[in-house]
Chains A and B, each alone.
Chain A
Amino acid sequence: MYDVIIVGGGIIGCALARELSRYNVRLALLEKEVEVGFGTSKTNSGIIHAGHHSPPGTLKGQFEWSGNQLWGDLAKELKFGFKHIGELLIAQKREDLQYLENLKKQGDSRGVTGLEMWGPKRIQKEEPNLSHTILKALHAPTAAVINPYEACFGLIECAKQNGLELFCDHPVQSIKRERDNFSIATPRGSFRARIILNAAGLFADHVAAMVGAKTFSISPRKGEEYLLDRRLQGIVTHLIFPTPTATSKGVLIIPTVDGPTMVGPTAEDIDDREDLSTSYSGAADVFAAVRKTCPAISERDTITEFAGLRAVSESNDFIIKRSPVKNFYNIAGIQSPGLTAAPVIATYVINMLRDNDLSLVKKQTWKADIDGPPRFAAMSPKDRKAAIHKDSAFGQIVCRCELVTEAEVLYAIKHGARTLDGVKFRVRAGMGRCQGGFCTTRLMDLLAQADEIPLSEITKRGKGSEICIQRHDIIPKKDDR
């Protein structure tokens, strides 16, 4: 019997888990994928928004700036990459200038610091590779970049060390009300809880419907992103936003926290909640838009592409409230700036729980920070020497494109990586320009050794995505010679 069960291990579920782990409650998180952060969060652009974008009078507007200010400390405590690179929202048409002015006012009135309007000269000085047709840009120095999946891994590790019980590969199949409690069924056992926090992302309406708490519906909005070769690292140094359209912030140029530049996303409303496919038209749209702002970027520089799905509610705002069913809370429709808002959403939800008769007593031993994974690529030569001296596995490069050592891969496996994607998103092995061509078999060997399983049981991201088969698995063709 748990006091609280969180359904969904995306950025929201993970932030809730860490925040709740401060208190003396018996806490569990159920995630349908094999690892946390493997849904929408994995494909998020990784932007901590500056604070001025979202309109007032919405939860988005309420949380964007307050969320922004929490990420720097979170990154320090949870040892994930965080860079305050700032943002430029550019106007290329006269009619866009008013939008910039309005946005500046909106930000200033909210207390967003450092907002500044730049003219062409300043823009050319700071970002010489941007189009020369840009009339003005609104500079917001508070914008930052992170890796959303690293944040998930850090949050969940911290929550685990403070008592969270994590159950991955546990999709929720049904929820029953049993007197004052809930019984949650999964293919791998059932769980009982007093309180359920529904953070099931794209499937939050489905989960809510299981207890008759569906007061909203979610529709997926697809975004395709294109990651460029490290050769183009530094082509822009700020996040570059065009003036947005009605449905989307537009196609951005994102200097990711690891260095490589990424362009995207598209915004396309679709029906299928698992359609993560990329398309010819997506690529064409992204690069056509990017060429307008930064002509030097070409589709030829792509090393990989992917798609993600935003969980959009019909209100277009976050849904964070008690449901008609007592002790069942929906935290849904968390689209942009959901990542930015996540840590504030977590405290907001906890205040809501407190107001609703959950007695929350702080633990005496709560530990805010984690040791965090080692990062050989980021070490100084001196630190590298010391690391190799202490553990010779740091002397073994596994992924040459991103300079990842065996020691880091083993650390990732020890801390929960069960799949190739799990390793890749924790340590970057396989994320570089060869896209795993050289390191895949090495990573498979390490995973197989750690779990004492044959290579054929190793998956890309869970059952059904095995990488290889054994020779004896071949079913001979009847008409074989």
Chain B
Amino acid sequence: MALSSTIYNTIFKRTSTFALACGISAFFFERTLDLGSETVFEKVNQGKLWNDMKDKL
């Protein structure tokens, strides 16, 4: 429980740190989601995309 109380005291307790944490985590979350969905798309369509064929020209 020490970890969760540390997190609570440093981040969630004050609105200022909470809002900052929201902003920063949103940045990382969106980057992760973008990269993840792009990876899925490229995996599904391997060999059909421009990036796959441009080296063979």
Please say whether chains A and B are actual partners in one complex: no
Residues of B at under 8 Å CB distance from A? none
Residues of A at under 8 Å CB distance from B? none
